[in-house]
């Protein structure tokens, strides 16, 4: 009897031992599930934040460190805005989500009012929102224009287009607009059609572009931006430019992947990148044009282009930073065209006026050197970014390399 009881007890103990692993599995499963749910919450929260910013990154820190709206319920957080003005009373017009709108932003002075009016009227016909940055502080004298009350007016004395853009064109503020035209005021639009331009940009998949410049009537600083006759668009220039030999194998500015800063056009996705490239303390943005290609949402040799069929005249008037009163005020668009055609681009300036222009140019060059040094330092220190660019080189072409200013 005792022997039988002993055997029975021994068998029970063995059965318990056999069952123990199942208890361990259950405990392990519970612990794993808890960890998985906790980590999934962090990942989802991270994706929610990054998708709203449209950023591609694998870096995701603790949500309490990066989610600035932590004190608010997620459903109430509004991350974006627009420039649409709202009535103080009465019904509000609802936006049609199927109709895309675009933005024209310009830094302007009252002395260029007539030319700006010509430009703005072209864009208003194509469902554009207009934003004017008044660098001379004069807003009231624009009120007589029919479209003035529909435009957004921002005023700050003697500030550049890029100073305004950095402060008033954050990507989350203008996220509703498909394309952003950030133009100077001294552009002739006689040969430019907005709708045809937009059609080409979309068909060609250009994220960064500009209208070509009439080479016979414009002030041109880079050969790539000069209009090529009887072409729809071009992405490269084939010639020797200083130390650059531009040919079919070129993958860097100024041979390809480049636009000038007087009339750039951005897709909203490229602007989200470009806005971060603009330095808060550097007001002239010199040097930025050489690295804008990194914001082209892919291969800069394909996604950046110059539209030849819709082109501009760049008068090159030094309106900001102390131009002589008679130089701008007396020059209508026709007179400016005649001046560039004949090559008569000099006019007597007072010693004081000359000093102001010299100081402006001096600061521009100083800022260029600062930006170049910052870029080199940033490239050297960010190993993750450099590694990603190496992968891009393998994807696009073996000669696609990091731009060194």
Following DSSP, what letter does each residue of 175-213 receive, concatenated?
TTEEEEEEE-S-EE-TT--HHHHHHHHHHHT-SEEEEEE
Mean pLDDT for 33-60 is 49
Q: Which two tokens stand for residue 310?
A: 């819709």
Per DSSP, helices labelled H in 54-149 are 63-66, 113-124
Band (21; pLDDT cuts 50, 70, 90): low
62 vs 259, higher pLDDT: 259
Domains of the chain and CATH, by start: 101-344 (3.90.550.10)
Lowest mean pLDDT: which of 64-68, 71-75, 210-214?
A: 64-68
Residue indicated by tokens 């989610």: 67
For residue 284, what pLDDT is reported? Answer: 94
Q: 3-class SS at 265?
A: strand
Band (124; pLDDT cuts 50, 70, 90): very high
Q: Which two tokens stand for residue 343?
A: 């090559």
Asked if the model's pLDDT at residue 253 lies above 90, the reply is: yes
Band (115; pLDDT cuts 50, 70, 90): very high
3-state secondary structure labels for all residues of 21-33: HHHHHHHHHHHHH
For residue 12, what pLDDT is reported? Answer: 55
Residue whose C-alpha is closest to residue 237's, from 82, 330, 225: 225
Round to whole Å and give the CA distance between 287 and 289. Answer: 5
For residue 99, what pLDDT is reported? Answer: 67
**Beta-carbon neighbour count of residue 397 at 10 Å?**
13
DSSP state at residue 263: S
Band (277; pLDDT cuts 50, 70, 90): very high
CB 201 within 8 A of CB 179: yes
For residue 17, what pLDDT is reported? Answer: 52
Asked if the model's pLDDT at residue 338 lies above 50, the reply is: no
Lowest mean pLDDT: which of 128-137, 153-162, 393-402?
A: 393-402
pLDDT digits (tens, 9 = 90+) for 297-324: 999 999 999 999 999 999 988 776 554 4
For residue 8, what pLDDT is reported? Answer: 53
CB 127 within 8 A of CB 155: no
Complete DSSP assignment for 301-366: HHHEEEEEEEEEEE-----TTT--HHHHHT--HHHHHHHHHHT-------HHHHHHHHHHHHHHHH
Q: Are strands 244-245 and 177-183 parallel, antiparallel or unpaired?
A: unpaired
**Beta-carbon neighbour count of residue 385 at 10 Å?**
13
Mean pLDDT for 262-279 is 97
For residue 331, what pLDDT is reported? Answer: 44
For residue 39, what pLDDT is reported? Answer: 55
For residue 404, what pLDDT is reported? Answer: 55
pLDDT digits (tens, 9 = 90+) for 67-98: 555 788 988 988 888 888 888 988 887 777 66
Mean pLDDT for 221-250 is 91
For residue 389, what pLDDT is reported? Answer: 81
Asked if the model's pLDDT at residue 287 lies above 70, the reply is: yes
* Mean pLDDT over the full length of the chain: 81
Band (347; pLDDT cuts 50, 70, 90): very low
Asked if the model's pLDDT at residue 400 lies above 70, the reply is: no
For residue 22, what pLDDT is reported? Answer: 61
Band (2; pLDDT cuts 50, 70, 90): very low
pLDDT digits (tens, 9 = 90+) for 153-168: 999 999 999 999 999 9
Most confident of 54-58, 182-186, 244-248: 182-186
Spell 349-383 as b/e; 16+ CB within 10 A means b: beeebeebeeeeeeebeebbeebbeebeeebeeee
For residue 64, what pLDDT is reported? Answer: 43
Overall pTM surpassing 0.85 (yes/no):
no
Lowest mean pLDDT: which of 52-66, 104-118, 199-213, 259-273?
A: 52-66
């Amino acid at each position: 009897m005792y022997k039988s009881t002993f055997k029975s007890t021994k068998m029970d103990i063995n059965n318990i031992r056999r069952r123990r692993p199942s208890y361990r599995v259950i405990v392990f499963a519970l612990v794993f599930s808890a960890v998985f749910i906790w980590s999934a919450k962090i990942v989802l929260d991270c994706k929610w934040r990054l998708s709203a910013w449209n950023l591609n990154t694998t870096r995701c820190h603790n949500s309490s460190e990066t989610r600035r709206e932590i004190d608010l319920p997620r459903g109430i957080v509004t991350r974006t805005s627009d420039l649409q003005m709202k009535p103080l009373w009465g019904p509000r017009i609802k936006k049609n989500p199927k109709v895309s709108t675009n933005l024209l932003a310009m830094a302007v002075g009252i002395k260029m009012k007539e030319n700006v009016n010509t430009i703005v009227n072209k864009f208003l016909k194509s469902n554009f929102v207009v934003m004017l940055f008044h660098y001379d502080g004069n807003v009231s004298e624009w009120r007589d224009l029919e479209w003035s009350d529909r435009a957004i007016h921002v005023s700050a004395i003697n500030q550049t287009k890029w100073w305004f853009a950095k402060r008033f064109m954050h990507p989350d503020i203008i996220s509703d607009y498909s394309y952003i035209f950030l133009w100077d005021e001294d552009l002739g639009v006689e040969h430019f059609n907005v709708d045809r331009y937009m059609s080409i940009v979309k068909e060609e998949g250009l994220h960064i572009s500009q209208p070509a410049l009439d080479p016979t009537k414009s002030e041109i600083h880079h050969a790539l931006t000069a209009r090529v006759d009887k072409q729809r668009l071009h992405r490269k220039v084939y010639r020797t430019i200083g130390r650059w030999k531009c040919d079919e194998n070129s993958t860097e500015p100024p041979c390809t992947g480049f636009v000038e800063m007087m009339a750039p056009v951005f897709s909203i996705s490229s602007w989200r990148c470009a806005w971060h490239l603009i330095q808060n303390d550097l007001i002239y943005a010199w040097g930025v044009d050489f690295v804008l290609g990194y914001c082209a949402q892919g291969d800069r040799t394909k996604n950046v282009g110059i539209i030849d069929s819709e082109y501009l005249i760049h008068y090159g008037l030094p309106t900001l930073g102390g131009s002589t009163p008679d130089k701008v005020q007396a020059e209508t668009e026709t007179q400016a065209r005649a001046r560039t055609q004949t090559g008569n681009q000099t006019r007597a300036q007072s010693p004081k006026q000359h000093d102001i222009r010299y100081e402006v140019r001096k600061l521009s060059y100083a800022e260029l050197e600062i930006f170049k040094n910052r870029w080199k330092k940033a490239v050297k220190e960010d190993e993750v970014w450099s590694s990603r660019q190496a992968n891009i080189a393998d994807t696009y072409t073996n000669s696609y390399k990091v731009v060194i200013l």
